[in-house]
Structure 1
C-alpha cells in the first residue's frame, strides 16, 4: 500500500531512480494515483497526517480562494488532520518593492481564515517572519539544489521571461530561490501532505528532492525528513467579472468580505455568452461553466444539475440563481467575519501569538536536529 513517507524511512541511494526526475505526464499520473490512496488513508486515519499550506498576504481573500483552497483546508481540519497554515509575509517582497500595509492585510487574511472555519485550537496559523528557525533552514537546503534545477522550475522560468520585459528590474534572489523557501516551509514542521494543483507539482517535487538529498547526505541510515505527498485538488480556475482568472491584482475579484449589494453587482457584470439555453460545457462555454461551478459549490449541487434547472431561461436567470446561491451560501461566513472584526485586532493577535509560538517550538526543534545531523552543534 502506498503511504506518505515517514521520518525514519531509509532514504533511496544516490543515483537511484528515486533521484531521477520523471516526465511531467508520468509524474502527474503517479501523483494522482498516490493522491487517491492518500484520500482513502485520510478517511481511515487522519491523525497520521500533517498538512502545510498557506497564502501570500497581498490582499483579502476572495471567492476563488474559498472554492479552490479554503473549503478543502477546513475539510481536512474537521477530519482530524493537523493543518499548519503559513501567512507567507516574506513572500510578498519576492516581486515587489513596496509590501503596502502588510499588518492590515495579514489581519484581513486571518479574519478570512477564521470566518471560513479555520479553528486556531485545531490548526496552526503563523507568519513567516515570526519563525526565524524556519528561514534558517533555507541555507543548508540551498546547498542541496543546483542553479540549473532552480532555473528549470516553471515559476522561476516564467518570472525570468517576465523580468526581461520589464525595464529596470530583474528577478529578485528571493523569487529565484522561492522553491527552496517553500521546501523550508513544508519541511520545518515535517509535513507529510501538501494540497496542490497539478501546476504546483514541480514545486512539491523540489521539496521532495531537498528532503531526499538531505537524508542521503546527513541521515543515510534512518532518514530524517519525510518526502511529502501531494494531495491533488481539482484545478479549479474561478473567473472574475471580466472573464479572466479571479485575481486580487487584476481587481476583478469578489472578496469574501464583500457586501450583498457588491455581490449582486459583481454577478450582474459577469460575462456569459450569446446562447440562451444554459449547458455545462467547460471547454466550449468557459464563462457560463464558471458561473455554474460557483453556484453549484455554494448551493451544494453539481454544475450539470444547476444547468438543467436553469435550462432555456437564459443567462439572466443563471446570474440570478448564482447570485442567490452565493449570497445565501456566504451569509454565515460573512456574519462570523463581521463579528470577529468587531472584536478588534486582539482576535488576530491572539491567533497569531498562539500559532507563532507553536511554529517556533516545532522549527527550533527541527533546526536543532538538522544542526546535530550536520555536525554543527558546538555546545
Structure 2
C-alpha cells in the first residue's frame, strides 16, 4: 500500500516506507482515539498461532487502547490467486469466530465482509486511473504472489491487488495500517493513490480528501511452520487456533528440528529449533533463552513436549471461548451484518465526497 502524485512517475521505495512506519509507531501514545486503523484477512482457512502472535494480539491491544478499528474480511480478494472461492461462507464465519475468540469486540471494532460494501469497490476505478501499469508491474509483493500462484495464468485482479488494498484502506480514511515488512510496498501504493488523488481532486478550499496512511510495523518475531518453511494455512504446517489438544500434539510432534541434543536459541544457525523455542516462550511470556536453558540437554523430544504443553495451556481459554461462540452461528452472521451496516455508512459518505470533488474538477 503506497502513495504517489499525478505528475510523479515513481513511488517511494522501501526505505521511505520504513521511515514512515517508524514515525507512525510513536503517534499512538498521544491520543489513540484520534486514529483509525484498517486491518483484515482473506477467509481462506483457519487462523493459526502465527496469525495470533503476528497480528491478532496487536489488534486487540490497539482496540483496548481506544483506537477506532475497521477489520475487513476480504472475501472478494480470495479469487485473486485461485480459480474458485471454496467454502467461502464457512471460512468467513470461522474467521469471525477466531477474531472474537481472540478478543476483538464487535462493539468496538467494525468487522465487515468486503463484498457487502459496494461503495468501497466503486472507488477502485478512479484509484486505478492514478497508477500506471509499469508501477503495478514493479510491485515486489505482486511479483512474488504471481510467482507462487497456483494458477497457470493470473487474472487482472491479481495485477491490481495493491489498488484493491488501497481502496480497503482509504474508503474509511484509515491513517494507520498494521503491516509486516513484506507488505510495505502495498502500503506505498495506498499512500501514492491518496497523494495523487488529493493533488488532482482537492476540495474547493484546497484541503485533502484522504489522509496518507502510515504503517504500524509489527514487532512480532517470525515463527516458522513445523516444516521449517513459512507458516501458512494452506501448507498444513501450523497449529490452528481451533485445533484440539490432540491435534496440536500431533502437529508439533512432526515438527522439524536438528541433530544437536543441546537445545539453544539461535535463530540464524538453528532456525527450526529456535522457532519452536520461541513459540513456547511466547505462550509462557518468557524469554526464549530462558526456555532453551531450562530444556537444556533434553533434546528434540523434551523441546516438543514443552512446546505442546505450553501451546495447549495458552490456547485453552481461547478455545473455550471459541467453542462457546461456535454454538451460535447466527451471532457470527449478525456481527458481519452490523459491521457491514457501519462500513457501508462510511463508504457511502466517502464515495459521495469523491464524486463531488471529481465532478467539480470535470
TM above 0.5, one fold? yes
Q: Distance in 1 between matches of 2:226 and 2:148?
A: 25
326-335 or 299-308, larger mean C-alpha shift: 299-308
**CA positional deviation for 1:272:** 1.2
1:206 paired with 2:189, answer yes
**Preserved CA contact (<8 Å) 1:295 1:322:** yes
**CA positional deviation for 1:235:** 6.2
Q: CA-to-partner distance for each residue in 1:151-179, whole Å, 9 max, x for gaps? A: 0011222344457x96xx32101111100
**Preserved CA contact (<8 Å) 1:51 1:82:** yes
Q: Distance in 2 between matches of 1:250 and 1:303?
A: 26
Out of 333, 343, 361, the residue aligned to residue 345 of structure 2 is 361
Out of 227, 231, 239, the residue aligned to residue 254 of structure 1 is 239
**Preserved CA contact (<8 Å) 2:10 2:135:** no
Q: Secondary structure at the match of 2:83?
A: coil
Out of 165, 176, 180, the residue aligned to residue 197 of structure 1 is 180
**CA positional deviation for 1:33:** 2.9
Aligned to 1:106: 92
**Preserved CA contact (<8 Å) 2:42 2:75:** yes
**Preserved CA contact (<8 Å) 1:280 1:288:** yes
**Preserved CA contact (<8 Å) 1:296 1:302:** yes
Q: Secondary structure at the match of 1:54?
A: strand
Aligned to 1:334: 319
Aligned to 1:117: 103
1:86 paired with 2:68, answer no
Change in Cα spacing, 1:104 to 1:318, as seen in structure 2 (3 Å) is same
Q: Distance in 1 between matches of 2:345 and 2:141?
A: 31
Aligned to 1:27: 16
CA RMSD of aligned residues (A): 2.2
**CA positional deviation for 1:29:** 4.5
Change in Cα spacing, 1:170 to 1:190, as seen in structure 2 (3 Å) is same
Uncovered stretches (5+) of structure 2, i.e. residues with no partner: none
Aligned to 2:158: 175
26-35 or 319-328, larger mean C-alpha shift: 26-35
Q: Secondary structure at the match of 1:106?
A: helix
Q: Distance in 2 between matches of 1:218 and 1:28?
A: 24
Out of 67, 76, 79, the residue aligned to residue 62 of structure 2 is 76
Aligned to 1:4: none
Aligned to 2:290: 305
**CA positional deviation for 1:67:** 1.3
Q: Distance in 2 between matches of 1:354 and 1:325?
A: 36
Which structure 2 residues correspond to residues 97-176 of structure 1 after superposition, within 5 A?
A: 97-161=83-147, 169-176=152-159
Which structure 2 residues correspond to residues 10-49 of structure 1 after superposition, within 5 A?
A: 21-24=11-14, 26-27=15-16, 29-35=18-24, 38=25, 40-49=26-35
Out of 348, 351, 360, the residue aligned to residue 332 of structure 2 is 348
**CA positional deviation for 1:12:** 9.7
Q: Secondary structure at the match of 1:375?
A: helix
Q: Distance in 2 between matches of 1:347 and 1:50?
A: 25
Q: Secondary structure at the match of 1:76?
A: helix
**CA positional deviation for 1:238:** 2.4
Aligned to 1:274: 259
**Preserved CA contact (<8 Å) 1:31 1:232:** no
Aligned to 2:270: 285
Q: Distance in 2 between matches of 1:251 and 1:138?
A: 34
Q: Distance in 2 between matches of 1:377 and 1:260?
A: 60
Q: Distance in 2 between matches of 1:132 and 1:224?
A: 20
**Preserved CA contact (<8 Å) 2:41 2:74:** yes
**Preserved CA contact (<8 Å) 1:276 1:315:** yes
**Preserved CA contact (<8 Å) 2:141 2:185:** no
**CA positional deviation for 1:101:** 1.3
Out of 371, 375, 379, the residue aligned to residue 355 of structure 2 is 371
Change in Cα spacing, 1:131 to 1:32, as seen in structure 2 (3 Å) is closer
Aligned to 1:3: none
TM-score, normalised to structure 2, is: 0.93
Q: Distance in 1 between matches of 2:360 and 2:222?
A: 46
**CA positional deviation for 1:15:** 5.4
Uncovered stretches (5+) of structure 1, i.e. residues with no partner: 1-10
TM-score, normalised to structure 1, is: 0.89
Aligned to 1:6: none
